[in-house]
Amino acid sequence: MATTDTTTFNLNLNDIAEEAFSRCGTEMRTGYDLRSARRSLNLLTIDWANRGINLWTIEEGSIPLTQGTIAYDLPVDTIDLLEHQVRTGSGSNQQDLTISRISVSTYATIPNKNNTGRPVQVFIDRQTGATNSSGTVQNPQIKVWPAPDQSNTYTFVYFRMRRIQDAGDGVNTPDIPFRMLPCLVAGLAYYLSLKVPEAKERMAMLKQEYEEQWLVASSEDREKAPLRLAPREFLY
């Protein structure tokens, strides 16, 4: 028996919304229904970010550190940093050195934040990325201590977790891997059941289905490498 020899199946927002409404025992009839589904979908992906690490949203980045500069912006859609080091040298002389994350309380108690040297501590200021009343975008930031004593010597390298992109228009496909589609549809159906009168009797069943799909999807979306524990050397 011949197969399709393709692996390109995906769903756009219209497809996802139609399937979710069908599970609610109704259909998507108006533009408002699509807007409501898109709003619920964005709230759903925010819930995913709160539930844990989504591997497909992990990205690597780097920031050159400048002599005497303490604060540096991260990309505006950064949720948090998962790993970080200070890199020196290049090629066969490259070294990634430990820089320890500290809390806002610890950072606040550092007497002289303008001391210079090789940075060994970092405070991650998890701003919202929103624009304040003065028109300034509140980017997440790192603040290193001590301030770098040289330019062109240190690079802050990191792995970050970014936000899942917004749902967009009806023809857009979601910013998720294919294996998460069943969970996305199940979650949207449950979210819509909170708003659609026809789905009142199905709400508990749809919630259970969503939670079961989340367990399956989140178990797959996890690092498969064994955990490795190693002592760290702290240099001051």
- Every domain of the chain and the residues it spans: 13-53+168-220, 55-162
Residue where the block lists tokens 């980045």: 61
pTM of the model: 0.82
CA angle 101–90–55, rounded 5-degree value: 45
Residues 214-223 pLDDT 10s:
999 988 877 7
**Which pLDDT does position 225 carry in this prediction?**
66
Q: Are residues 156 and 99 in contact, defined by beta-carbon separation less than 8 angstroms?
A: yes
pLDDT at 100: 97
* Of residues 111, 64, 109, the one with CA closest to residue 87: 64
How much is the pLDDT for 134? 78
Q: What is the dihedral of CA 172, 176, 180, 183, to 10 degrees?
A: -60
The whole-number pLDDT of residue 173 equals 87
Residue that is written with structure tokens 């330019």 in the block: 151
CB 147 within 8 A of CB 66: no
**Type and span of the H or E element at 91:** none
Whole-number pLDDT of residue 236 = 43
Question: What are the pLDDT digits (tens) for 13-61?
Answer: 999 999 999 999 999 999 999 999 999 999 999 999 998 878 899 999 9
- Length of the chain equals 236
Q: What is the pLDDT of residue 98?
A: 96
Contact 159, 82 (CB under 8 A): yes
Using 70 as the pLDDT threshold, list the residues of the chain that sit under it: 224-236
